[in-house]
Amino acid sequence: MTGIEDRLSRTLEHVADRAPRLAPSAAERLETGHRRRRHRSQALLAAAAVVVVAGGAVVGLQRAGDGRALPAVGPSEAPSVAISVAARPVEKVWPQAVWKIPVKDPEGRELRPVALTDDGMLLIKAWRKVEQPEVLYLYNLAGRDLRKIADVRRPRKAAGGVAGFSMGEGVVAWWTSTKTSVRLWAVPLTGGEVRQVAEHKTGGDVIDSLAVAEGAIVFSVLKGGVFSVPLDGGQVTPVDRGTGLHLLSWPWAGSPGTWSPQDGAPFTHLVNLETGQAGDAAPAGQGTQLLACGVQSCLATTSGGARAFTRLRDGSDQQEVPTGFQIPEPPSQSRFYVRTLGGEAPGLGLYDLKTGTLADLGIRDEAARGEVPVADRAGRMMTYLTASGRYVIDLSRIP
């Protein structure tokens, strides 16, 4: 396994590890769903990503799950959408959308971006070690100013750390868990005292997604079901039409969830919890399989994994994904993919399916601290750490 592939694996592992420690039953469900998601990622990385090596030969990486290697094919048999052009640095390709920010706060804690606002404010959590966020900051991308919001401490009797940071309605919200319940917390973006908004008995289940919307904290739990509670506090109540569903991006919820153990691609079924609009993604069709769906589009591969493609949820506007696509999720902003770069300095790049532009992310095989960038749940912000610093990309600023 190359360094790039190893970091991809560790990044996907980290996605599952973001939640606090769970009760045994919830942990088992999370691990089952995570194994399912990891296997999808390995299959796509191995089967859909053919690697062009010196001399023009094309080789297949090992297919996940069965231990067999894909057979080598000649250059003429490689997918027609393979890209071999040199890529310029991402900050040169889209300067209006890329920033470098500090790696650590004044006290030496690692800074991890969480979300981005329309006015260029970045929500950041500061870590001393993984799963122990200690400080929340707002960072002004234009003014390069880091402002502390609040200290965030793990409550007593909590079963794990702090998770699910989300902002909206002028506040930051998150959750912690005990053996029998989850607790919801909030603090104003302007700073102030952290307060507990509500406690919700779950019998050991945990939250798999959280958002702030419509004056409330809205969340879904691992076993299914969407709930809300007013930001001012009160009783946690089920959201109409949200029974058994998982929050994707407010007001959209669906099934299966990201960590659901059932067979099938996540979020093929989707419901607008405000309007009641509901629908299922078009079936993959003969010889293909869906890997994952978002609000607008789905990602799929041929059954053998030789080719990957994206299309709208109704099955229209199908486009093949270039060779080297890495993360098995629908495209961010319905157009952006992280993919491998070939040549003398292999690494990772960001590919725009809309324009055919490929930008070099500066992640190299030899970069010991490199990360495989993954967009946030909203599909807007992408962040990653390289040997030269922390990058933030606002995908919504790319025309």
The pLDDT tens digits for 94-149 are 999 999 999 999 888 889 999 998 788 999 998 776 555 579 999 999 889 999 99
Instruction: Please tell me which of 9-18, 177-186, 233-242, 253-262 the model is most confident about, judged by mean pLDDT.
Output: 233-242
Residue pair 227/244 in contact by the 8 Å Cβ criterion: no
> What average pLDDT does the segment 294-308 reach?
84
> What average pLDDT does the segment 205-233 reach?
95
- The C-alpha atoms of residue 259 and residue 73 are separated, in whole angstroms, by 35
Three-state SS for 339-355 is EEECCCCCEEEEEECCC
* DSSP conformation class of 57: -
What is the secondary structure of 234-249 as a DSSP string? ---EEPTT-TT-EEEE
Which pLDDT score is estimated for 102?
92
Which pLDDT score is estimated for 326?
56
| Cα→Cα distances 8→58, 79, 102, 338, Å | 21, 22, 23, 11
Of the candidates 391, 331, 334, the residue with the CA atom closest to the CA atom of residue 361: 391
Mean pLDDT taken over the chain = 77
Please give the residue that has the higher pLDDT: either 53 or 259: 259
Q: Before 256, cis peptide (omega within 30)? A: yes
What percentage of the chain exceeds 70 in pLDDT? 71
Query: Which CB contacts under 8 angstroms, 24+ apart, belong to 120-123?
Result: 122/381, 122/392, 123/165, 123/167, 123/172
Q: Is the pLDDT score of 367 beyond 80?
A: no
Q: At the top level of CATH, which class does the domain 153-280 belong to?
A: mainly beta
Instruction: Please tell me which of 22-31, 33-42, 44-53, 276-285 the model is most confident about, judged by mean pLDDT.
Output: 276-285
- The C-alpha atoms of residue 252 and residue 245 are separated, in whole angstroms, by 10
Instruction: Please tell me which of 10-19, 128-137, 185-194, 304-313 the model is most confident about, judged by mean pLDDT.
Output: 185-194
Residue pair 377/218 in contact by the 8 Å Cβ criterion: no
Confidence of residue 21 (pLDDT cuts 50, 70, 90): very low
CB within 8 A of 53, min separation 6: which ones? Answer: 59
List pLDDT tens digits, range 151-186: 888 777 666 678 899 999 999 999 998 888 999 999
Q: Is the pLDDT score of 228 beyond 90?
A: yes
Which pLDDT score is estimated for 322?
73
Tokens of 366: 């030899």
Q: Is the pLDDT score of 27 beyond 90?
A: no
What percentage of the chain exceeds 90 in pLDDT? 44
Residues in the chain: 399
Supply angle C-alpha 387, 392, 395, rounded to 5.
135
Q: Is the pLDDT score of 372 beyond 60?
A: yes
Q: What's the pTM?
A: 0.77
Please give the residue that has the higher pLDDT: either 39 or 286: 286
Q: Is the pLDDT score of 304 beyond 80?
A: no
